[in-house]
Amino acid sequence: MSITPYRVPVVPKIKRDNYIKLYEKGFRTDERDFYTPRKICIKTNVLEKANGSSLVKLGNTTILAGIKIELGQPYPDTPNEGVLQVHAELSPLASSLFEPGPPDENSIELSRVIDRSLRDPKVIDFNSLIINPGNKAWVIWIDLYALDYDGNLFDASMLATMSALYTARMPELEELETGEIKIKNKVSNKPIKINKRIVSVTTAKIGKYIIVDPNLDEEIISDTRSVLVFDEEGNIVGAQKTGMGSYTMEEINNTIEISSKASQVYFKLLEEALENEKLER
Amino acid sequence: MVRPEKFIDDSGRRVDGRLPNELRPIKMQIGLLKNASGSALVEYGLTKVIVAVYGPRESQKFVSLPDRASLRVRYHMAPFSTEERKNPVPTRREIELSKVLRESLESIVMTNYFPRTTIDVFVEVLQSDGGTRTVAATAASLALADAGIPIKALFGGVAIGKVDGVLVVDINEVEDMYGDADMPIIAAPDLGLVTLYQLNGVLSKDEFQEAFDMAINAITRIVNMEKETLKSSYQVENKEGDIEK
């Protein structure tokens, strides 16, 4: 059951009015223009026991993604595909707004949006994760940990997911004399086969303004938000309206154009981050 | 369930004989539950969803909001609604859908009239054949109207899909499962407002925009049906036996 949030900080109307006054002059409180995301910092392979990991900072929002790859069974309806599991943990250490306990609706929504964007557009080559059709397959667990929350978990989580997937290494198998298949080494040199890169672009609607990558204050005063996920060809591979308000068709069309342009910025930053990582190895 | 060879045959018809822009047969009924403040049963083809609205009623203290009513939405699928029995424990999917449905209602229901109260919208999917959350939206619109809770406008939902490269309206389960995209949309066409969209699959930018146009057009037709249903439900006979509206 979903209930209207009752723990959201109260925003004085005057604060919202001030933000909008600033927007009228073309500024945001952190001196960005409307269409530029905050500074992005991506660090991969930050954990030794995970097959892949990435620490992403989007402004002050910090997400740690860890990938574990295990042996398991394919789903009965997709005997030729490996298994993907995405989970998000909005740990209480990340924000006074997060409560301990089982995943709440926000965490479930976040992980399901990431999951859908990876699954249906086949970002991962699921067929390459099959060991024995219908019987044995690799299970990829992506766990997203919010460490610091300053708005826009979706874009940060997507960057963390993609960079962790790119740097993750598959385990190595061995076949015993009995014919049994076992994991020999937890990590090999073999990467996960990836078909395409995707980025998520979150925009917030505040009054008549559409702004890219809202920070926490902007998220709280926003009327509603849109998450659009793009591939490199400019196709939309996932979308989710999140937040309580609504959009007119004109606002939706604006949001699509703005998000599509911003996706190029995110792609460039992801590209650069992955390049840097290669040099360091 | 097997993947059909072709989703659209040579005459341009879909697996169930519909044209790309054609809705399934829609049935609407309101006020069928006696305990609820308002209720509605809506069917799009084989998809059947029942919605009950309770309230506004006093909130539990810790969730009470000083300036408006809290909305509680529960989307739930009956164990017998699917091909194989569904465990009645709420799944992650049901938790997410409850959230997005609630958020879509927040901007339509005039909650500011009822501070410190709760309005409950309980959705039970009785039979699922694709598009359940959008049918739930249509049923919620009718149930809220039946409960006499002020809403800014009637609203409805429809899922747009893409099969064999063609955008189609109101997808059924086969088209959802094996199609290229599933995009549920909820809107209040009289206000020109979209209150929910989600996308599972791949669409080009142009297709994404076209999907909205198709959805608004379809939802306009659905909301007109809602109006007819409400009007005919509240007709009364006067002493002379004439029908008064």
Q: What is the number of domains present in chain B?
A: 1
Residues of B in contact with A201 (CB under 8 A): none
B200 inside domain: yes
Which residues contact residue B5 at a Cβ distance below 8 angstroms, ignoring those fewer than 6 apart?
none
pLDDT above 90 for A41: yes
Q: B241 in a domain, yes or no?
A: no
Task: For residue A193, give the DSSP letter.
Answer: P
B 189-218 residues with CB < 8 A to A: 192-205, 208-209, 212-213, 216
B71 touches chain A (CB under 8 A): yes
Is B165 domain-assigned? yes
Domain-located, residue B49: yes
Q: CB-based contact (8 Å) between B101 and chain A?
A: yes
Q: What is the ipTM of this complex?
A: 0.94
Query: Whole-number mean pLDDT of chain A?
Result: 94
> What architecture is the A13-280 domain classified under in CATH?
2-Layer Sandwich (3.30)
Judged against a pLDDT cut of 90, whether residue A7 lies above it is answered with no
CB within 8 Å of A251: residues ≥ 6 apart:
A205, A210
For residue B125, being part of any structural domain is answered with yes
DSSP-derived secondary structure for B93-152: HHHHHHHHHHHHHHTTB-GGGSTTEEEEEEEEEEE-SS-HHHHHHHHHHHHHHHHT--BS
| Structural domain range at position B119 | 26-233
How far from the centroid of its chain's Cα atoms is residue B27's Cα?
12
Tokens 């403040």 locate to: B37
Spatial separation of the C-alpha atoms in residues A171 and B115, rounded to whole Å: 57
In a domain, B161, yes or no: yes
CB contact under 8 A, A120 and B201: yes
Alpha helices in chain B (DSSP H): 92-106, 132-147, 173-178, 205-233
A109-162 tens-digit pLDDT? 999 999 999 999 999 999 999 999 999 999 999 999 999 999 999 999 999 999
Say if the Cβ atoms of A236 and B188 lie within 8 Å: no
Chain A: residue whose CA lies nearest to B202: A237
Residues 6 or more apart in contact with residue B186 via CB below 8 angstroms: B101, B104, B133, B134, B137, B155, B156, B157, B194, B195, B196, B197, B219
pLDDT tens-place string over residues A75-109? 998 999 999 999 999 999 999 999 999 999 999 99
CATH of the domain at B71: 3.30.230.70
pLDDT at B244: 58
DSSP A153: H
Token pair, residue A253, equals: 């069309």
Does B184 fall in a domain?
yes
Q: Which two tokens stand for residue B99?
A: 């959230």
Characterize A84-112 residue by residue with b for buried, 16 or more Cβ atoms within 10 angstroms of its Cβ, and e for exposed: bebbbbbbeebbeebeeeebebbbbbbbb
- The reported pLDDT for the residue numbered A281 is 43
Q: Which residues 207-226 of chain A have a CB within 8 Å of chain B? A: 224
CB atoms closer than 10 angstroms to residue B159:
30
Tens digit of pLDDT for each residue in B2-54? 889 999 999 999 999 999 999 999 999 999 999 999 999 999 999 999 999 99
Q: Which residues contact B202 (CB under 8 A, 6 or more apart)?
A: A120, A121, A231, A235, A236, A237, B180, B181
The number of C-alpha atoms within 13 Å of B188 and in the hemisphere containing its C-beta is 22
